Amino acid sequence: MENQELIARCEATAREWMTSPLFDADTQAEVKALIDNPDKTGLIDAFYRSLEFGTGGLRGIMGAGTNRMNIYTVGAATQGLSNYLNQNFADKDQISVVVGHDCRNNSRLFAETCANIFSANGIKVYLFDDMRPTPEMSFAIRHLGCQSGIILTASHNPKEYNGYKAYWDDGAQVLAPHDKGIIDEVNKVGVADIKFEGRPELIETIGKEIDDIYLAKVKELSIDPECIKRQKDLKIVYTPLHGTGMMLIPQSLKLWGFENVVTVPEQMVKSGDFPTVASPNPENGEALAMALDLAKSIDADIVMASDPDADRVGMACKNDKGEWVLVDGNQTCMIFLYYIIKNRQAQGKMKGNEFIVKTIVTTELIKAIADKNNMVMYDCYTGFKWIAREIRLNEGIRQYIGGGEESYGFLAEDFVRDKDAVSACSLLAEICAWAKDQGKTLFDVLMDIYVEYGFSLNKTINVVRPGKAGADEIKAMMENFRANRPQEIAGAKVVCTKDFQTLTQYDGEGQATPLNMPEKSNVLQWFTSDGLKVSVRPSGTEPKIKFYIEVKGEMECPKCYLAARAEAVKKVELVKKSLGLD
């Protein structure tokens, strides 16, 4: 009965879409097909809820329906954001925004739709002439003195998805109180309220002139240009995975002085269908397969891949046996911060007021690196808007020199306020050149870090549960973990539980103390007596729940790596069994 009621409710909403003059003919034809289909799964998934404009914006599967990415859901988000901007900056003669987009199907359509809506609301729009990396859009907000910006992207999600990320005047994704304020405004908007008819005189196209300024700023991040001169022939294989990285990353590497950059030709083709990969996610080894094949054929030094909106970087290098190995996001983040700190120290660039940032689910070895080098480190929630918040809070007090997260994002600069694959790829190439200058590889650098700071293995388990049933199951899993806190994991006592939803920390005896964080978040963490850390949270952008497992160990020499890793892999399996994930 409950399911019949849900179908009836979804069908009633769908018939409104099918008959209302507010919706175009193609949308109505798609809705009719959903209604006519005897299998009501598609109808339910498209209409069982409204696609929620959350603190990260919108992300969802493209198509007709209230729970889909289309010009109406995107339009409502833009109308709500326009209303909020006009309320908050009423004293400004001219409010302005930047609009960018990635390579995905419909991204240009959505970007132009948003530009029209902003302009119809009296807001000046700087619209990029073609796809561009997310970090460049963030940079442009600050550079052009805008009050907001959006980018149409679903980052590394599969091709069926698109998304909409909203940014504030500091170039960072929106945080409190503005996030809630925008959400309230968006929720007030009906389709009839959306002003689709644009004012062309308020829309200005931007492109190469911003590229050149941004790339010049990125080049200033180079710590050791002399090293690059010595290793200018470093063999670099790069792939943009059909996305925006192709617009700037090869150009940036050339500006830094690298003369031997080889791109994967099949993946230098702009395509929202991502025809050469199952998923355009540099976290997945499969996405780097073509780049690795090319690297083997030319005996390259490093492989780099950026995701469709060029904010994340995947990387591979050769190990001590000359075999190509993937380097995960935690390891890449460690390598970045290790190099930046070590080489700024060597060149006397440290003033003593520097700080770094990581997210709470990122490896604790970064804390060990910070502590040993007397460096201030801040822990924050997952997502670069929280790293951007730490940068903003420390402006004029401390100097930001780097921050990252396990999900393959790093930011080396403060003139951008989101993770940046353009600067990350350029800096990563420099680190590879620095290592080669010493007769080492990036793998050797990673081994040096483990020997000096301790070994850890990080494993992320994604439990995917799509649709309404999946969302309900994920919610039930989190509720169960809260109601039945684990007392031990993999045979070791849980000595600390952190519940960021209630902002409460429990010791091994169950004593509670407050957690000091800027707001609540649906994240749980458990720490055990043998150094294990497990974090669990529902993804904010995909239908899955994520488990982050970190196993610590010791590594006395580089040759001890395989044994340390094997021990840690066994421990991960025990953890999975303890949590019912096997």
User: Could you give the residue numbers annotated as active site?
Assistant: 155
Residues 283/407, Cβ–Cβ less than 8 Å: yes
Measured CA to CA, the distance from residue 429 to residue 424 in angstroms comes to 8
Q: How would you classify residue 298: left for phi > 0, otherwise alpha for psi between -120 and 50, otherwise beta?
A: alpha
Measured CA to CA, the distance from residue 508 to residue 289 in angstroms comes to 45
Nearest partner of 68 among 102, 84, 39, 44, judged by Cα: 44
> Which run of H or of E encompasses 506?
strand 504-507
Nearest partner of 501 among 350, 392, 381, judged by Cα: 381
Tokens of 487: 């007392």
The dihedral through the CA atoms of 367, 368, 369, 375 has a sign that is positive
The dihedral through the CA atoms of 268, 271, 275, 279 has a sign that is positive
Nearest partner of 271 among 159, 162, 165, judged by Cα: 159
Residues 296/259, Cβ–Cβ less than 8 Å: no
SS3 state of residue 96: strand
Measured CA to CA, the distance from residue 52 to residue 63 in angstroms comes to 15
Measured CA to CA, the distance from residue 255 to residue 361 in angstroms comes to 34
* SS3 readout for 203-253: EEEECHHHHHHHHHHHHCCCCCHHHHHHCCCCCEEEECCCCCHHHHHHHHH
Q: What angle do CA 443, 358, 241 make, to 5 degrees?
A: 60
Q: What angle do CA 185, 104, 333 make, to 5 degrees?
A: 85
The DSSP 8-state label assigned to residue 303 in this structure reads E
Measured CA to CA, the distance from residue 98 to residue 148 in angstroms comes to 7
Could you tell me whether strands 354-359 and 376-380 are parallel, antiparallel, or unpaired per DSSP bridges? parallel
* Cα dihedral: 227, 230, 236, 242 (round 10): 60
Residue with tokens 């492109």, as numbered in its chain:
207
Tokens of 154: 């679903």
SS3 state of residue 77: helix
> Which run of H or of E encompasses 400?
strand 399-405
Nearest partner of 524 among 479, 492, 572, judged by Cα: 479
SS3 state of residue 533: strand
> Which run of H or of E encompasses 332?
helix 329-346
How far is C-alpha 541 from the chain's CA centre? 10
Residue with tokens 């399911």, as numbered in its chain:
3
Residue with tokens 């997952």, as numbered in its chain:
382
How far is C-alpha 397 from the chain's CA centre? 27
SS3 state of residue 160: coil
